[in-house]
Amino acid sequence: MNMKEQNALPIVFASFFKSGFKAKRTRAFILLSLIPVLLMLIMRVMETAGSLAANDAANFFAKVMLVLYFQLLVPVLALFFGSTIVNDELDNKTLVYLTTVPVRRRAVLLGKYLAAFLQAALLVGCGFLLCFLAANITRLGDAAAWEELAVFLGTSLLSLFCYSALFTAAGAFMKKSILIGLFFVFGWESVVQYFPGVTQKFTIIHWVKSLLPVPPGEGGFLIFQLQPSPPLESVLVLLAAGFLFLILAVFIFERKEYILSDNA
């Protein structure tokens, strides 16, 4: 029999990345991620038609879109993609297939995590790119604009990486992790980020916002009371937190006994 020990991670990744796009939830999120693009296009059309002042679309992008993306879309996508990595397997009772094959559980979890992360990153990245192009159509020849885009995209990827790792760990630990995740995103993160001093550093959004190239005072409520941390420190914290959450997720997933209902 032609059998060999091999790394299962790429196999799991490829399979779930492909099948993930057929899921109804992913299709719903594709539509959701197009809403900001639509808003941005409306702003651009209105500006072109003269209904808005010049640069209003660009300002709208800086003031509203960044909030929409970094405080809403990225955490929500990360929450749904991250927490369902294990929870979907439990709800659909399919976990048994991935845990009765001769591969380490960590390869299964990480393969599925990478697939979910890349799907979410594609949704956010494509939407963000389209929004950016619509907002900055007049300054596409400006290198600074592209530099800004690179920072936005990099920050959104880092943000997705960290949030989805956290929610993957939560999903591996408990069954109804989405509720806890919603509380975290719209409760803890929304409130604590405005606390003065060190407290706001106990949120992911603090480190994400610290990377955004919007000078204080120009970002409106986006940077209200934000005391930004240095960019390098923010990148390192987000990376370290993301990896720690992933290690925690693997630790839980390898040891936890998952009971697929109707016991007996």
Partner 1 sequence: MTAVLQAEKLSKWYGNILGISDINLEIGSGITGLLGPNGAGKSTFLRIAAGQLKPKIGRLTIFGEEVFGNHLLFRRIGFCPEHDSAYSEMSGWQFILLLARLHGFDRKTAAQMSEKALATVGLLESRDRQVKGYSFGMRQRLRLASSILHEPEILMLDEPLRGVDPLWRIRIMQLIKDYGRQGRTVIVSSHILPEIESMTSEIVLIHQGKIFAKGDIHRIRGLIDSHPHQVSLRCLRPRQLAQKLIESDFVSSVDFGPDGRSLTVKTNQRDLFFTALIRLIAEDGLEIEEITSPDDNLQAVFDYLIGK
Number of residues in contact with partner 1 under rule CB under 8 A: 37
Nearest distance from residue 213's CB to partner 1, in Å? Answer: 39
Give the x-and-dash track for 80-109 against partner 1 (CB under 8 A). Answer: ------------xxx-xxxxxxxxxx----
Q: Which is nearest to 39 in space by CA: 78, 72, 84, 88?
A: 72
93: left (phi over 0), alpha (psi -120 to 50) or beta: left
CA dihedral sign, ordered 189, 192, 196, 197? negative
Report the run of H or E that residue 110 belongs to, with start and end: helix 105-135
Buried b (16+ CB within 10 A) or exposed e, 155-175: bbbbbbbbbbbbbbbbbbbbe
- Residue nearer to partner 1 on the CB measure, 3 or 143: 3
Note whether 19 binds partner 1 by CB under 8 A.
yes
Nearest distance from residue 180's CB to partner 1, in Å? Answer: 21
Note whether 51 binds partner 1 by CB under 8 A.
no
What is the full DSSP assignment across 121-159? HHHHHHHHHHHHHHHTGGGTT-HHHHHHHHHHHHHHHHH
Give the x-and-dash track for 22-41 against partner 1 (CB under 8 A). Answer: xx------------------
Q: Which two tokens stand for residue 197?
A: 């001093």
Could you tell me which stretch among 117-125, 201-209, 235-243, 256-264 binds partner 1 (CB under 8 A)? 256-264
- Residue nearer to partner 1 on the CB measure, 107 or 166: 107
Residues contributing to the site for partner 1 (CB under 8 A): 1-6, 8, 11-12, 15, 18-20, 22-23, 92-94, 96-105, 254-255, 257-260, 262-264
